[in-house]
C-alpha cells in the first residue's frame, strides 16, 4: 500500500474496523473511504456496485460482519449465514471488478473444527466438525475464505484472509447477554463492586483455556499483512499463548478492584477445553503481538468506565 491509496475499511464502526482506522491514520494513511450502514448497506448488491463504481478503492479491508455471541448465533442461524455471505459476496466481487489492487478479508478462529489439535494450525481447516453453537457464522466465514481463494485462482485477484483469535478492547460489546467472555467479566465484576456483593458466580469449572488478542494488536497485524503479505494461504492472528478462564477472572477481579470471592457454578457447561491458535506462520512473516493481557484489560476497563453512557448493547 501507498500512503495516498484510496482505502475502503468496510465495518469501520465496529470493534475491529474502528481499530484498523485508528491504526491506518496513525501511520499516515489519510485517504480513507468510510461509509456506515446509513450510507451503504453491504447486504445490497446494487448499493455496493454504485459505491465501488464511484469511489474505486485501491485497497479494501473487509472487517464488516454480522456478529454476536452463542445466544444470537443459535437464535438467528439463517441471518448469520445469509447476511454474512451477502456482505462477503458483494464486497469481494465488486472489489475485483472495479480494479482494487488488494483485499484483506477478516475471518474468525471459529472456522476450525471443534476438536482440532492444539495449537490450531491453518491446515486444520475443513478437517472436522464445527462447534454447533456458531457453525452458521463459521460456514459463512469459510465461504469467504474460499471465495477469496477462488478469485485469486481464476482471476489473479490479490485477496488475503486473516483468522483472528478472541478479540477484546475499547469499543467492545459489554452486554451481559450477548458479549464474549472478557468484556462480560469486566462488567460483571465492576457491577458487583458497585453493589458491594460478596461474590461473583462464574459458569463452569474455570479450567478451559482461551487466547485473547487486543483489538489494537489485531489492527496492527491487519495493516502489516495488508502491506506485506500476498499469499493464498490463510494466516492465524493471535498471541500464541492462552490463559484459563479462572485465571482470567482473577485478573479481571484485580483490575476492577472487586474485593469479594469467585464461586464456580459447575452445573453449567465449560465448552471447548482449549482454543489456541498456532501463530508460527504469522511470526515467520515478521509480526508479533505487543500488548500484554493485563495491560490490555486495564486499558479496556478504563474505556468501559469512560463510556458508560454509550456502551454498545448488541
Residues catalogued as catalytic: 137
253 is in an annotated binding site: no
Residue 282 annotated in ligand binding: no
Residue 75, marked binder? no
187 appears as a binding residue in the annotation? no
In contact, 108 and 236? CB cutoff 8 Å: no
270 is in an annotated binding site: yes
Whether 145 and 89 have beta carbons less than 8 Å apart is answered as: no
Provide the H-helix boundaries in the chain: 15-26, 45-55, 70-75, 77-97, 135-155, 181-195, 215-228, 245-256, 280-284, 293-306
CB 264 within 8 A of CB 199: no
Cα within 13 Å of Cα(137), Cβ side? 22
Largest separation between any pair of C-alpha atoms in the chain: 61
* 136 carries a ligand binding annotation: no
Distance CA 27, CA 136 (A): 36
Q: CA 244, CA 250: separation in Å to the nearest integer?
A: 10
Record the cell numbers describing residue 104, joined without a space.
484483506
Q: Is 164 annotated as a binding residue?
A: yes
Instruction: Read off the C-alpha cell for 306.
Output: 469512560
> Any bridge partners for residue 279, and if so which?
none
| Residues 6+ away with beta carbon under 8 Å from 167 | 15, 16, 212, 213, 214, 215, 218
**237 pairs with which residues across the strands?**
164
Q: Is 141 annotated as a binding residue?
A: yes
- State yes or no: 68 annotated in a binding site: no
Report the distance separating Cα 12 and Cα 24, nearest Å. Answer: 12
* 203 assigned to a ligand binding site: yes
Is 71 marked within a binding site? no
56 known member of a binding site: no
The answer to whether the annotation marks 14 as part of a ligand binding site is yes
108 in a labelled binding site: yes
Residue 165 annotated as lining a ligand binding site: yes
Among candidate residues 64, 61, 66, 62, the one with its CA nearest the CA of residue 24? 61
Residue 161 annotated as binding? Answer: no
**106 is an annotated ligand-binding site residue:** yes
Binding residues: 11-17, 106-109, 141, 164-167, 180, 188, 203, 210, 270
Binding residues for NADP(+): 11-17, 106-109, 141, 164-167, 180
Binding residues for substrate: 188, 203, 210, 270
Amino acid at each position: 500500500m501507498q500512503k495516498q491509496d484510496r482505502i475502503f475499511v468496510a465495518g469501520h464502526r465496529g470493534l475491529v474496523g474502528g481499530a484498523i482506522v485508528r491504526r491506518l491514520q496513525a501511520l499516515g494513511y489519510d485517504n480513507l473511504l468510510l461509509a456506515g450502514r446509513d450510507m451503504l448497506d453491504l447486504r445490497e448488491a446494487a448499493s455496493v456496485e454504485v459505491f465501488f463504481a464511484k469511489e474505486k478503492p485501491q485497497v479494501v479491508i473487509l472487517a464488516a460482519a454480522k456478529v454476536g455471541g452463542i445466544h444470537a448465533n443459535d437464535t438467528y442461524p439463517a441471518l448469520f449465514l445469509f447476511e454474512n455471505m451477502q456482505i462477503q459476496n458483494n464486497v469481494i466481487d465488486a472489489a475485483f471488478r472495479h480494479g482494487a489492487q488488494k483485499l484483506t478479508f477478516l475471518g474468525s478462529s471459529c472456522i476450525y473444527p471443534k476438536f482440532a489439535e492444539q495449537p490450531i494450525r491453518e491446515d486444520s481447516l475443513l478437517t472436522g466438525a464445527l462447534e454447533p453453537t456458531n457453525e452458521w457464522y463459521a460456514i459463512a466465514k469459510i465461504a469467504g475464505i474460499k471465495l477469496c481463494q477462488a478469485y485469486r485462482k481464476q482471476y489473479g485477484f490479490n485477496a488475503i484472509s486473516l483468522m483472528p483469535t478472541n478479540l477484546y478492547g475499547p469499543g467492545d460489546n459489554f452486554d451481559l447477554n450477548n458479549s464474549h467472555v472478557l468484556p462480560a467479566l469486566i462488567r460483571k465484576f465492576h457491577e458487583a463492586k458497585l453493589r458491594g456483593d460478596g461474590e461473583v458466580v462464574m459458569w463452569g469449572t474455570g479450567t478451559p483455556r482461551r487466547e485473547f488478542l487486543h483489538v489494537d494488536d489485531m489492527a496492527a497485524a491487519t495493516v502489516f499483512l495488508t502491506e506485506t503479505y500476498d499469499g493464498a494461504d490463510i494466516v492465524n492472528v493471535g498471541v500464541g499463548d492462552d490463559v484459563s478462564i479462572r485465571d482470567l477472572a482473577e485478573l479481571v477481579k484485580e483490575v476492577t478492584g472487586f474485593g469479594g470471592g469467585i464461586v464456580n457454578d459447575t452445573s453449567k457447561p465449560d465448552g471447548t477445553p482449549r482454543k489456541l491458535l498456532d501463530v508460527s506462520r504469522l511470526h515467520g512473516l515478521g509480526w508479533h503481538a505487543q500488548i500484554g493481557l493485563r495491560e490490555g484489560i486495564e486499558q479496556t476497563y478504563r474505556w468501559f468506565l469512560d463510556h458508560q453512557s454509550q456502551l454498545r448493547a448488541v
